[in-house]
Amino acid sequence: MRSNANTIQQLLDAGVVRVLCEHAHSQDAELRHNAVWSLKHLVNDASNSLRKQCLDELEPGWLVQLITDDTEDDALFARMKAENHVRDDDDYYGDTDMELVGDRDEQEQRPWLWPALYRTNSTRSTSQRIHSPRIERAEERLTALREAEINPVRKARSDDLAIQEQGLGFIRNLLGPPGGAAGGAGTDQTEMVDYVFSELGQDRLFEILTSKLRTKVLHPFERRYSGIAAAGGGSRAGVDALSRVVYPQARTVENVIFILVHIAASVPRHRQLVISQTEMLRQVGAHFGSKNGMVRRALCHLFINLLCRDGQADADSCAARAGELRRLGFLSKLEALESGDSELDVRERARVAVWEMKQLPQQ
């Protein structure tokens, strides 16, 4: 620990923190991403004084912008809408992350598909072959790779999401036990939670965390169509609404939940703050079915911390927190993880959370 502290001090003396924070303001997305990634790891095993210095040097307002900047969603929508307007006469369906399938021949829509995918001794038609599940999965993968390479708007948005993930990881490590301590939170962690609340804004932070947990439907827009055979025959003309659905990424959700884990590891008033965020907790509950084991593990850790009792003076408040969690349906969700999760660690953490909740009297 002493050696690590000395190393961090040497970095401070060399002005590394200042340089990294300058790079975190760069217009170059890759440089910005790498700088925030470096700061995230730097504060993970640091004292509160260094953590505060990093946040001050980075600038709280800029950090908020980094983790909330969705301007590329607007740019993508504008491009989609413009293309849709230009190609209405061609029954163009736009370019979205949804599986919006037009009537044009699939080979014409996807000229980059590998011919080798269709080499087979089967006498089935090409149309039958390209609709096999295995081929369709390969096509979807190739389509995504091509989009990531040649679509500048998609790449810009992907860069934004990656930077947001690192920014949330930076906040997560700011709020963790200082100096890499493995024990309880202590006054240092409480001090850091209060400092982050004061610098970023308590309500603003919870709003951001809630938004990162929520599935978003972005910019519904109109699509004209004509000459398409209706179910009963003939043709139809009219307007449809297309929308782009964005699901939270697992790493982003994990970082958000661990931010809450660290807040809940502090003192009772911080746990009460988390419990009071009803909408945020509802969004948290939507991720119990996540395929990512780290997300499910973080969820169990969060509820264990929320049910922690600091002495007899906190007994009534702790029981009230448990009652609110029961009311929101978390007991049954935790019981489902306890009995049916595929990972032993998740089942054990869920068992502890369920036991803690059932031990507390219902109010």
- Would you list the domain boundaries of the chain? 71-154
- 168: Cα within 13 Å, side-chain hemisphere: 29
Determine the pLDDT at residue 222: 47
Q: Are 242 and 85 in contact (CB under 8 A)?
A: no
Determine the pLDDT at residue 312: 82
Helix (H, G, I), strand (E, B) or coil at 251: helix
Q: Are 328 and 285 in contact (CB under 8 A)?
A: yes
Determine the pLDDT at residue 138: 80
> CA–CA separation, 234 vs 145, rounded Å?
38
Across the chain, which has 363 residues, the per-10-residue mean pLDDT values are 60 78 93 96 90 95 88 53 47 36 40 47 50 77 70 73 94 85 65 96 96 80 46 45 75 97 95 96 96 96 94 88 95 96 95 92 71
Q: What is the pTM of this model?
A: 0.74
φ/ψ of residue 317, rounded to 5: -65, -40
Determine the pLDDT at residue 184: 45
Q: Which residues contact 27 (CB under 8 A, 6 or more apart)?
A: none
Determine the pLDDT at residue 253: 96
With tokens 């031990």, the residue in question is 359
> CA–CA separation, 169 vs 139, rounded Å?
33
> CA–CA separation, 45 vs 30, rounded Å?
24
Helix (H, G, I), strand (E, B) or coil at 25: coil
